[in-house]
Structure 1
Amino acid sequence: MQLCNITRSFLGKIIEIPTNKQKNTSKLHIQGRFFNFEILQNFFPMVRLLLCFLILCISCTTEVFPKVGYQQKILLGIDVLVRDDFKILYGKRVGLLTNSASRSSSKKMTVEYFVNNPKFTLNAIFTPEHGFFTTVPAGKYVPDDSLYGVPIFSLYGNNRKPTPYQMSLVDIVVVDLQDIGVRSYTFISTLYKVMEACADANIPLVILDRPNPLGGNLVDGNVLEPQWASFVGIVPIPYLHGCTIGEIAFMINEEGWLKSNGVTKKCDLTIVKMENWKRQMNWEDTNLEWFQTSPNIKSVDAIRGIAMFGVLGELGLFNLGVGTDLPFQVFSIRNVNVKKLEKLVSELKFDGVAFINKEKQKHLEKEHNTFLIKFAKNKECKYYTFGMTLLFEIRKAFPHLFSYERLKSRRIEMFKKVTGTSVLFDSLIQGDETEYFNYLNKGLDEFLKLRSKYLLYK
């Protein structure tokens, strides 16, 4: 494709080859190279065309043409820190919030750059939910540990916030976490608690920024109501916020959302920005490899799946492939009319999302009424709106699934926490379609205006 585009542009140059009436020697400039066409004028037109094509091949092999699309290598925050020789950490005792999914563009773990670094001392490693190796199931206790002789303090174990003792071990804290762009994913809550601890201890915080794998323009869902703040939604942002972790930290710090013991605080925040990342990029555009951030987020399609189906999973009514090789990429409901469900799904037109019937997927044939979900890579899909629309349509088609007797109270409570409101659950159960859909993107316009002040990338 690249060669074809170059060829088309080059053929436009061929007609500019001088005639005998012009100077005997002429040169064509191609990105710093000159080619002599004096001899070419004596060949038949077809031969000249072939020689021009050979010149093109030589040029292509040395990459002298401008690159098309997203060809520039993205430098992550960690890449920029390494390139700049860790200057902001010189001589300091460092604490690092990270896990094994946090890597440079060359796939080296961030912690490997920090261990035994002669420029500073790594005194503490902090880890979020799922532990350093990202293998602990969701919601499960993560114990303290050690790595390379450095203590690992779990922030999903005995405490969610670094203790005063842990903070006394460091002069500065660095955060390098690959978030997934979904409000209920707890990495943002862990970031919030670390910011809180840094503000309390008057210790600087450095964020090594990373891409939002759903892109920087996808913003979808209602803004969380403050009274529903929890560890699965700690700040008033939409379910899909379209920000990098650095932008979220910037927003938290400047909007007065950071509170400790009821007092509004700010931390001394530095964000090491990425280079060459654009907001319109999806993950595949970055040419970066995805590393599992938790047991069920093994791929970017799993992120698209949790963005669409994660809220639905809280009710416990559906099989979403959690615990399989395709987490959040299958969909099934037991004990409902098969033909009715197939008709419902076929009539829903979600641009960029395809439901493939299980009959065409032999490896899924053990599941009843199962659909394999395929996501387009080049679409900015409103995954949250799609998923919540599907949920309401299922409520209309199969109301018996949504009785209070069938739903467990702890699941109802978690659904409200994850959606950031009680309105959506109440209107779902009552079948109030107008209130339900009016609320799906409540507060979104105001958030977009607020967000614009904190965007670090175009």
Structure 2
Amino acid sequence: MVITGLERILREPQVLSRAGRLGLLYNYASVNTRFESSADLIAARFPGRLRTLFGPQHGVGGTEQDNMRETGHGMHPYLNIPVYSLYSETRIPRPDMLESVDTVLVDIQDVGTRVYTFATTVLNLMHACAETGKAVFILDRPNPIDGKDVEGNILNPAFASFVGPFPIPMRHGMTLGELMALYHAELDIGCELEIITLGGWNPNTYFEDTGLPWILPSPNMPLVETAVVYPGQVILEGTNLSEGRGTTRPFEIWGAPFIEPGHVTNLLEKNCITGAVLRETDFKPTFNKWAGQHCRGYQIHVTDRELFRPFRATLAFISALLKLYPEEFRWSEPPYEYVSDKLPVDVILGDDRLRLDLEQGRSIEDLEHSWSEDLDKFLSLRSRFLLYPR
């Protein structure tokens, strides 16, 4: 079984002997193997030292949906310490929020995809801690969709945002600790940073192989299967297609009222849909896009994770729909994650060039070739920050 950074500090409390007063960035998915909350465990293991809690997007309890639905601040009901939302009127801790701590622990389950706000929240925390002289300790957790596969174009810095602050691909193949080490060095952040590493994690494996319990880290990430398709299917947030929010299988199910799946299947670039079966399905979202309306589309059933390439697959879906439904298919309008002057799909993709290429009908193979050199450069950069043998 994999030993998380959380489990390590509980077993080896001397790791925090000089950490002083503690803060904790966490949410309801931050648990040990017995499903106990990291806040409760740290408060009990280090009596009197846990002074402040911080929560990411969706709130500590995961009650809010996507895209600028903010949460407020409060007090923990029985620990009687403040809980500050870092997805509120501020997304970077104010100095007064850090006054009572010397070190902020980070125990957050990331999902291995650039477009997921938790990593940016940790980046903002590091910036704030650098300015106030505080330390950051990352209690590392596994990348649930393995630590070897990397896919997608590299973000253009001109399109940096809360869902993509630095030039990395959509699927980066790093743990949160590794990614923060990269950000810390490449952005010259300057705070004291320590990664409490995992024990026994094999980067070639998926989350099910860790022996750890999967708790959905955000409201629409219920299963590891969701995380597997997410590096591609998150792109649908920038379109008028339902990405399956409001169904029981978000991101696996997708479609719209105007889609005829048989026609889409005939037009798909078949070499782009490997390691998966597209099963035609009908569905009616209970909320979000097309709520209450009969949609047609697909459920993605991944049959071979080694072969499946989620980013490639979703680009193929969009390419086919642009050809079949030029009047019905639409890009979503801004704002998206606090960006009001760019199309959401461009924010998600980290560039407008990819959208324009899709509109012009370029093949997915050509698109992948266009960013292959940049991807190789990222792999070289990434190699300097890998904490677990690849």
What letter matches 1:240 in structure 2?
A: R
Secondary structure of the 2:163 match is coil
Q: Which structure has the higher relative contact order (CA within 8 Å, separation 6+)? A: 2
Q: Structure 2 CA distance, aligned partners of 1:78 and 1:299? A: 22
Q: Is the 8 A contact 2:33 2:212 kept in 1?
A: yes
Q: Which amino acid aligns with 1:214?
A: I
Question: Which amino acid letter does the alignment assign opposite residue 107 of structure 1?
Answer: F
Residues 206 and 337 (structure 1), Cα distance of their counterparts in 2 relative to 1, 3 Å cut: closer
Shift of the 407–118 alpha-carbon distance from structure 1 to 2, 3 Å rule, reads closer
Q: Is 1:376 aligned with 2:303?
A: yes
Structure 1 position 265 matched with structure 2 position 194: no
Which aligned segments of 4 or more residues in structure 1 are displaced greater than 6 angstroms? 361-364
**Distance (Å, rounded) in 2 between the aligned partners of 1:89 and 1:158:** 34
Separation of aligned partners in 1, 2:47 and 2:74: 25
Q: Give CA deviations for 1:61-112 in whole Å, capped at 9, x if unaligned.
A: xxxxxxxxxxxx2101111111102541467211111111011233221111
How is 1:6-21 mapped onto 2 (pairs within 5 angstroms)?
Answer: none
Equivalent residues of 1:99, 1:127 under 8 A apart: yes
State the partner residue of 1:219.
150
- Greater helix percent: which structure? 1
Matches within 5 A, 1:206-245: 206-245=137-176
In the alignment, is residue 196 of structure 1 matched against residue 127 of structure 2? yes
Between Structure 1 and Structure 2, whose CA radius of gyration is higher? Answer: 1
Q: 1:410/1:269 Cα in 2 relative to 1: closer, same or farther (>3 Å)?
A: closer
Per mean C-alpha deviation after superposition, the further-off stretch among 392-401 and 214-223 is: 392-401
Q: Matched residues in 1 for 2:111 and 2:153: separation? A: 18
- The 5 Å alignment of 1:169-318 reads 169-255=100-186, 257=187, 264-316=188-240, 318=241
Aligned partners of 2:103 and 2:135 also within 8 Å: yes
Shift of 1:397: 2.9
Segments of 5+ residues of structure 1 without an aligned counterpart are 1-72, 258-263
Q: What is the deviation of 1:407?
A: 5.3
> Post-superposition shift, 1:178?
0.3
Distance in 2 of aligned mates of 1:211 and 1:277: 7
Match of 2:348 in 1: 418
Structure 1 CA distance for aligned equivalents of residues 27 and 321 of structure 2:
38
Deviations 1:387-408 (A, max 9, x none): 11221122223333456xx753
Count of residues paired in the alignment? 374
Q: Which runs of 5+ in 2 are unaligned?
A: 287-292, 337-341
Write the deviation string for residues 307-338 of structure 1: whole angstroms up to 9, x where unpaired.
Answer: 2211123112x222112211111122322445
Tell me how far 1:306 sits from its aligned partner: 1.8
**TM-score with structure 2 length normalisation?**
0.88
Please list the CA deviations of residues 339-359 of structure 1 after superposition, one character each: whole Å capped at 9, or x if unmatched: 312433594662222111228
* Counterpart residue number, 1:331: 254
Q: Indicate the percent of aligned positions where both proteins have the same amino acid.
A: 29
Structure-1-length-normalised TM-score: 0.76
Q: Partner residue of 2:325?
A: 398
Instruction: Provide the rounded CA distance (Å) in 2 between the counterparts of 1:380 and 1:211.
Output: 21
Which amino acid is 1:200 matched to? E
What SS is found at the alignment partner of 1:248? helix
Distance in 2 between residues matched to 1:439 and 1:397, nearest whole Å: 25
Deviation (angstroms), 1:441: 4.7
The alignment yields a C-alpha RMSD, in angstroms, of 2.5
After TM superposition, give the deviation of residue 135 of structure 1 in Å: 2.1
In structure 2, distance between residues paired with 1:363 and 1:206: 40
